[in-house]
Structure 1
Amino acid sequence: MEIGYFNGEFVPLEKPVIPIDERGHQFGDGIYEVIRVYKGNPFMLDEHIERLIRSGEAIKLPFTQTIDDFKLLIKQAIETSGLKECSVYLQITRGIAARGHLFPDVPVSITMTVREAKPISEDIRNKGVSTLLLEDERWANCYIKSLNLLPNILAKQKAHEAGCFEAILVRDGVVTEGSSSNVFYVKDGVVYTAPLTRHILPGITRIAVKKVLKTLELPLMEQQFHEEELLNADEVFITSTNSEVLPVVKINETVIGRGIPGDITSQIYHQFQELVSAL
């Protein structure tokens, strides 16, 4: 069953648990992770927790839990739910205190949900998706997986209203990433993606794809690129925990390649599935 967790207690999802003075609610003062679970096994759990801790350190969250503590809690939540194909959402905020801008001297709050996974349909995956180029209006520290996602939400909604699956963000002419994904393209057999900077979230599926490319002996270039390069690519794909490896066949009004998922993208996706099957 789908379950929730709040500060030490597993609770039904419909039970209200967040106090009015919770700082995530008041300020977006917190961080989060989304972890995909296959066959009851969380995928790349160490990498997710390491990123969570880095984000916490970046905003000076005073939690004392270790990697092993978080791993135990997440695995306990999965076992309690009984779900095998699911997603775990883990959130940590600066805690519960009367509203004020300075950091309060209170314990952090930890909330979590375990819900059934909603994988991309095979029909969508086989056809590929359309995307929309938009100006990147997010803050300067996108490498932190913080709760401050309003610009991402607005971009995703604008893309949806235009009939697109995702928004691809551009900052000063340079492609950064999607509203909830990392962006890759293929040109002349070489795979390209943006290098990690403070403007890029270090995606966990991005790490997995780098492993896959080594296995497939496909070259990867991590370098800045402009929207013109993306529009002239042979293939484009996006990656995220929930989308995995998803081909892009149209950006704005430009058809990418032959307008169908490319051969290299398909190889990468199938090899990614091999990683998942090995869990």
Structure 2
Amino acid sequence: MKTVYVDGKFLPWDKAVIPVDDLAVLRGYAVCDIIKTIAGRPYCLDAHIDRLLSSVTQIGLTPAWTKEEIKEIVFKVLEKNAHMDKANIRILVTGGSSPDFFIPADNPRLIVLITDIPALPAHWYTKGVKVITFVQQRALPDAKATNYIPAVLALKEARAQGAVEALYMTRDKMVLEGTTSNLFALVEGTLITPGKGVLKGITRKTILALGKKLFPVSEQDLSLDTLLSASEAFITGTNKGIVPVIQVDDHIIGTGKPGRGTRALMSAMADQRGNG
């Protein structure tokens, strides 16, 4: 059975609980981050914890743990689950218990879970996927908050339309990001990704660095019209890696197949992770 960390204790999975008066339960007031392990080692651990602590402060909480303390807990969780060669580490900081059930009392809780990495269909990568657009903007895009109600609704709509992801879009049709992914498009040879109003993923950062070796790169606003005119598009995420996008709503992107630039980045990403 998996061992996890909850509020100062290492516990078996089925004994891991928090009080029902925690603001994460009552108000959805918490932040999180997810880290993929490769050969038992966490990938980009420092970057993920930096983003977690930034998210904590952005929602108005005071971090009660240093970066090094969180790293130590993560490594202990991995040590206690040494049988799991590949896993996801999920770190949550909750608002803690609140006397008035609303305002945080400066007593956040830290939770570190370990879960299996879900297997994604191979054809996503070889044939590409369909995504839809969904009018929605995150209230605090730079904070990875646990309020995923809009994402759940968007993904339900995506599934109903035979798509694997929903791209958030403003009312004036500027495309932002997916529910759990960042978006990239190759437009006239330039690799473009939205630079404002999005959660700047750790994989996104890696792709920007790798992309600069292959193309001109630009972080800029991306209109729906520009996205639909792209020769290639793809989404990225911790568990997804790079997933080619061949259809947005009812519009086919490029040739309707994963493009050469996307495949080059997928290969570069695989090489980096293999050497990381």
Q: Gaps (5+ residues) in structure 1? A: none
Residue 263 of structure 2 is matched in structure 1 by: 266
Contact 2:23/2:102 (<8 A) preserved:
no
- Identify the range of structure 1 (74-83 vs 240-249) with the bigger mean alpha-carbon deviation: 74-83
Matched, 1:113 2:113: yes
Deviations 1:109-130 (A, max 9, x none): 1112101112423222111110
1:9-28 alignment runs, 5 A limit: 9-15=9-15, 17-28=17-28
Deviations 1:7-58 (A, max 9, x none): 1222222235121111100111111001111111111111101111111111
Q: 1:211 aligns with which of 209, 212, 225?
A: 209
Residue 85 of structure 1 is matched in structure 2 by: 86
Q: Per the alignment, in what secondary structure is the counterpart of residue 133 of structure 2?
A: strand
Residue 64 of structure 1 is matched in structure 2 by: 64
1:183-194 alignment runs, 5 A limit: 183-194=183-194
Structure 1 residues 67 and 118, CA gap change in structure 2 (3 angstroms): same
- Identify the range of structure 1 (169-178 vs 7-16) with the bigger mean alpha-carbon deviation: 7-16
Q: Per the alignment, in what secondary structure is the counterpart of residue 239 of structure 2?
A: coil
State the alpha-carbon separation in 1 of the partners of residues 214 and 265 from structure 2: 11
Deviations 1:163-221 (A, max 9, x none): 100001111211111111110001222111111x3x2101110001012113x332111
Deviations 1:129-170 (A, max 9, x none): 10011101432x211111112111111111012110000111
State the alpha-carbon separation in 2 of the partners of residues 200 and 51 from structure 1: 13
- Identify the range of structure 1 (44-53 vs 129-138) with the bigger mean alpha-carbon deviation: 129-138
Contact 1:138/1:152 (<8 A) preserved:
no
- Identify the range of structure 1 (242-251 vs 60-69) with the bigger mean alpha-carbon deviation: 60-69
- Identify the range of structure 1 (4-13 vs 161-170) with the bigger mean alpha-carbon deviation: 4-13
State the alpha-carbon separation in 1 of the partners of residues 156 and 119 from structure 2: 20
1:216-255 alignment runs, 5 A limit: 216-255=213-252
Contact 1:30/1:147 (<8 A) preserved:
yes
State the alpha-carbon separation in 2 of the partners of residues 170 and 213 from structure 1: 24
RMSD, aligned CA: 1.5
* Identical counterparts, % of pairs: 28
Contact 1:175/1:194 (<8 A) preserved:
yes
Q: Gaps (5+ residues) in structure 2? A: none
Contact 2:129/2:164 (<8 A) preserved:
yes
Residue 256 of structure 1 is matched in structure 2 by: 253
Residue 32 of structure 1 is matched in structure 2 by: 32
TM-score (normalizing by structure 2): 0.94
Q: How many residues align?
A: 274
Residue 131 of structure 1 is matched in structure 2 by: 131
State the alpha-carbon separation in 1 of the partners of residues 124 and 220 from structure 2: 29
Structure 1 residues 65 and 190, CA gap change in structure 2 (3 angstroms): same
- Identify the range of structure 1 (203-212 vs 61-70) with the bigger mean alpha-carbon deviation: 61-70
- Identify the range of structure 1 (58-67 vs 250-259) with the bigger mean alpha-carbon deviation: 58-67
Deviations 1:204-239 (A, max 9, x none): 10001012113x332111110110111111000001
State the alpha-carbon separation in 2 of the partners of residues 180 and 99 from structure 1: 32
